[in-house]
Amino acid sequence: MPTNWRKSTHSGGQHGNCVEAASTNTTVFIRDTANREAGALTLPTPAFAALLTAARTNTLNL
């Protein structure tokens, strides 16, 4: 597990909706700060980049 966790600037402090991310050269880790013990979602770096692009361009197909 990486040690370079950063909290999202879009995480709200009032309701505990906090997300942290960390990365290695090949993987991005995402976890809920309210439940760190649950582990992290892991994505290959290119998949995470594609996710961010889709979110920014409002093209997420949920």
Say if 49 falls within a structural domain. yes
Say if 48 falls within a structural domain. yes
Q: How many domains does the chain have?
A: 1
Cα-to-chain-centroid distance, residue 22:
8
Percent of the chain past pLDDT 70, that is, above it, reads 87
Say if 61 falls within a structural domain. no
Q: Give me 24's structure tokens.
A: 């290695």
Q: How far apart are CA 1 and CA 44, in angstroms?
A: 14
Q: Give me 11's structure tokens.
A: 């995480």
Tens-place pLDDT, residues 31-58: 988 888 999 999 999 999 999 999 999 9
Say if 16 falls within a structural domain. yes
Say if 36 falls within a structural domain. yes
pTM above threshold 0.85: no
Say if 27 falls within a structural domain. yes
CA dihedral for 13, 57, 39, 5, sign (positive or negative): negative
Give the domain range for residue 42. Answer: 6-56
